[in-house]
Structure 1
Amino acid sequence: MNLQQDIENLSPWFHNIHLPDGTQTAPNHLLGDFPRFKWVDIAPHLPEDLSGWQVLDIGCNAGFYSIELAKRGANVLAIDIDPHYLKQASWVAKQFGLEDKIELQQMQVYDVARLDRKFDLIWYMGVMYHLRYPLLSLDILSQKLRKLMVFQTLTMPGNKVAEVPDDFGIDEREQMQQAGWPVMAFIEKKLAGDITNWWAPNHACIEAMLRSCGLKVTKKPAHELYFCEPDDALKAEQAWNESELLAATGKPWLEAVAEKVARKNEYMVPKK
C-alpha cells in the first residue's frame, strides 16, 4: 500500500503534515498550510535542542507539533480525545521514525490532574475555547508545568488592556464595561459552524486568567500566541483557591479549604 492510499484511508485530516518524502496529508486545507504557518511563528522562540525535555501536547490531532518537538529531541506525551486523530498521529510518527519519542494516549485535559509527572513544556494550542471549564484546565496544567507553556486560544478582537484596580465597590461595576476590561464572551450556539466553540476571551482576559493560575506571560510572538512560565509569587497570591481545584479533580480538599474559610472575613465583613 502506498503513502497516498494510507493518507486517503486515514482521512479526513485537519493537520497538513509534510511527510519525509514531501507528500502532504492535506494539501488543499481550507486554512492553507495549517498548522505549519503557525509553527513558523513559534519555532524561532524555542530552544533548538530539547533533548531531555518532557513535553505534553494537548489536543495533539495528527501530531504536527509533536513531530516538530520530537525532532528537536523532546520526549512527548501527545493526548487527544479523538481516536481518529490518535490513529493518524501514530501513523505519522512511524513515517518519521519517531514512534519511540512520542507516546500517544486518549485523554481529556482534565485527566492530566491524575498524572504523577510534570512537564518541561506544555503545548496548549487551539483547545481551551472548546472546553466547558476553561479556567479549570489552566489550573490543572499550571500544577504540572516546570518551565514553559505555549498557549493559544480563539480571542475577541483588540489588544487594549484596561487598568484594573485591586478592589472596587459593588456599586462601581460600571467600570467593567470599559474597553480593555478582562472579559470572555460565551458562545451559546455555534461559531463557524462548530458547537464546541464556547468561549472567546479578549487579550486582557487571557493575561488575567494566566496570572490567576500562577503563570507569567514572558513573550507574545504572534497573534493569539502566549509564552508563559510558572511564577511563584503569582501562585502564592492564588493559593486560597486550591480547595476548589482539589475538589474538581476528585482529591481530598477539606484540609486545603481551611485557609479559604479562615480568610472569609477579609472579604465578607464590610470595612468601617
Structure 2
Amino acid sequence: MERGQIEARVRALGEWFHNLDLGGVATAPDHFLGDYPRAVWESIQGSVPADLRGKTVLDVGCNAGFFSLEMKKRGAARVVGVDHDERYLAQARLAAEVSGLDVEFENRSVYDLARLGGRFDVVLFMGVLYHLRHPLLALDLLHAHAVGELLVFQSMIRGSQGRIPVAEDYRFEEREVFDHPAWPKLHFIERAYCGDGTNWWIPNRACVEAMLRSAGFDPQPIAGTEVYVCGRLPRDPAESGAVYPARE
C-alpha cells in the first residue's frame, strides 16, 4: 500500500487514540499524552515475556491495536483483540493490514469473555478498568474465563500512591481508617473526567492492588508506571464473598 493510500485510509477512520506508525504515517501525532501508547510500551516491554512463541494472547479493550501488534511481533501463535467500538476495530484492522501481521479483532464486551471459548496464556487489560460501571465484576470474569497464566494490567490512578497495612477485620465502631489517604478507594465520576463521560471509577494505587488480589491475581507493579504484571492465583471470587455466580 502506497503512503498516499495509507494517509487517506487513516483520515477516513477519523480521530485515533493510538499513535501508530503505519508505513511512515503517524495516526495521532498531536496526542495530548505524547507518543502514546509507545511511551508506555517502552517503559514496560522489559517486564513482558519477550518470547511468546506458542502462546495465545488476548488484548481486552484493544483500541487501534498497538499492544496486539506488539504481542504478535513477539511471536505469539494467536492474538485476539477485542473492543466494543467498531471505529477502533476498523483502525486496528487497518494497522494489522499495513503491518502485515495476522491478528484477529472482534467486537466484544469484557463482560462477554466466556464466549471466547477458552483461556489465553497472556491477557492484556490496559486502560479499561476506569471506563467500566462494574469494574470488579470485569476482573472476576477475567480470572474465571480468560487469564491462563499472566495478566498485564493498567489503570489510570488518582489520589494517594501510598499503601497502609490493612487488618483482616475491623470493629463496627471503627471509622477513622476510612479517612486515611492510602485506604483503598475508588473515586466515582458521576458526569465526566477529562471531557470523557465513559470515565466512571478511578482508583488510588492501594485500591488497584486490593481489587486485583480480591479477583485472584498477584499484582507486581512495574516501577514508575501504572502497570502491573499479575500471575493468576487459584482463587474463586466467591471465596471473597462475591454474591453473583461468576462462572455464569
For normalisation by structure 2, the TM-score amounts to 0.92
Contact 2:214–2:240 (Cα < 8 Å) also in 1: no
Deviation at 1:125? 0.7
Which runs of structure 2 are paired with 1:31-42 in the superposition (5 Å)?
A: 31-42=33-44
Q: Counterpart of 1:113?
A: 114
Deviation at 1:46? 1.6
User: 5+ unaligned residues in a row in structure 1: which ranges?
Assistant: 252-272
Query: SS of the residue aligned with 1:172?
Result: coil
Which runs of structure 2 are paired with 1:67-216 in the superposition (5 Å)?
A: 67-74=69-76, 75-99=78-102, 102-143=103-144, 144-216=146-218
Q: 1:139–1:170: structure 2 CA closer, same or farther, 3 Å change rule? A: same
Q: Counterpart of 1:270?
A: none
Q: Counterpart of 2:9?
A: 6
Superposed CA deviations along residues 133-170 of structure 1, whole A, max 9, x for unmatched, are: 00000000012212111111111133211111101111
Which structure has more helix as a fraction of its residues?
A: 1
Q: 1:240–1:181: structure 2 CA closer, same or farther, 3 Å change rule? A: closer
User: Percent identity over the alignment?
Assistant: 42
Larger Rg: 1
Contact 1:76–1:103 (Cα < 8 Å) also in 2: yes
Deviation at 1:242? 5.9
Q: 1:29–1:67: structure 2 CA closer, same or farther, 3 Å change rule? A: same
Q: 1:113–1:173: structure 2 CA closer, same or farther, 3 Å change rule? A: farther
User: 5+ unaligned residues in a row in structure 2: which ranges?
Assistant: none
How many residues of Structure 1 are paired with residues of Structure 2 in the alignment? Answer: 243
Deviation at 1:188? 0.8
Deviation at 1:211? 0.6
Deviation at 1:223? 2.2
Deviation at 1:178? 1.4
Deviation at 1:236? 5.7
Q: 1:167–1:243: structure 2 CA closer, same or farther, 3 Å change rule? A: closer
Q: Of the two structures, which has the highest relative contact order with CA contacts closer than 8 Å and spacing of 6 or more?
A: 2
Contact 2:128–2:155 (Cα < 8 Å) also in 1: yes
Contact 1:136–1:245 (Cα < 8 Å) also in 2: no
Query: SS of the residue aligned with 1:57?
Result: strand
Contact 1:13–1:25 (Cα < 8 Å) also in 2: yes
Deviation at 1:171? 0.9
Q: Counterpart of 1:223?
A: 225
Paired AA for residue 232 in structure 2: P
Contact 1:151–1:227 (Cα < 8 Å) also in 2: yes
Contact 1:162–1:179 (Cα < 8 Å) also in 2: no
Q: 1-side partners of 2:241 and 2:142: how far apart?
A: 15
Contact 1:213–1:238 (Cα < 8 Å) also in 2: no
Paired AA for residue 139 in structure 1: D
For normalisation by structure 1, the TM-score amounts to 0.84
